[in-house]
Amino acid sequence: MKPNNFAMRDWHLEHIKKVITRYIKGISPDASSFEKRNFKNHSTISSCAKQIEYDMKHGVTTEQVMAVMERIRHDNSFADLRANPDCIQRLDDLERQLFTSKKVAS
């Protein structure tokens, strides 16, 4: 019997999906001061990238992260996000942040 080194891989994959959608969705124009402060502290591109890299250390592969991003770009369940061009721009920026820094570091 092979041990499961990454027992919570599915949870981390779901967390990546939530982090990406929260980042690309942005903040609503009528957000409260508490929501604005939380967004400023926890939903920037660098904090999103850090959370994704943390999840990748716990068993999520780069291919799975790319699959989540492709699903956001093409799946019908994310059509409301794709309607906003700023969301696609933020997704492109996040993808650039995650995967170009890896190429430079390696």
Whether the CB-CB separation of 87 and 81 falls below 8 Å is answered with yes
pTM of the model as a whole: 0.82
Let me know: does 15 contact 55? Beta carbons within 8 Å.
yes
Buried b (16+ CB within 10 A) or exposed e, 78-96: beebbeeeebeebbeebee
Q: Which two tokens stand for residue 54?
A: 């943390």
At 104, the pLDDT band (50, 70, 90 cuts) reads: very low
Count the residues in the chain: 106
Apex 45 CA angle, 78 and 58, nearest 5: 80
Of residues 6 and 60, more confidence is placed in: 60
Mean pLDDT of 13-33: 91
Instruction: For 48-92, write each residue's pLDDT tens digit.
Output: 999 999 999 988 999 999 999 999 999 999 999 888 888 999 999
DSSP state of 59: T
Q: What is the pLDDT of residue 7?
A: 75
User: 17 falls in which pLDDT band (50, 70, 90)?
Assistant: very high
* Residue with tokens 């570091």, as numbered in its chain: 105
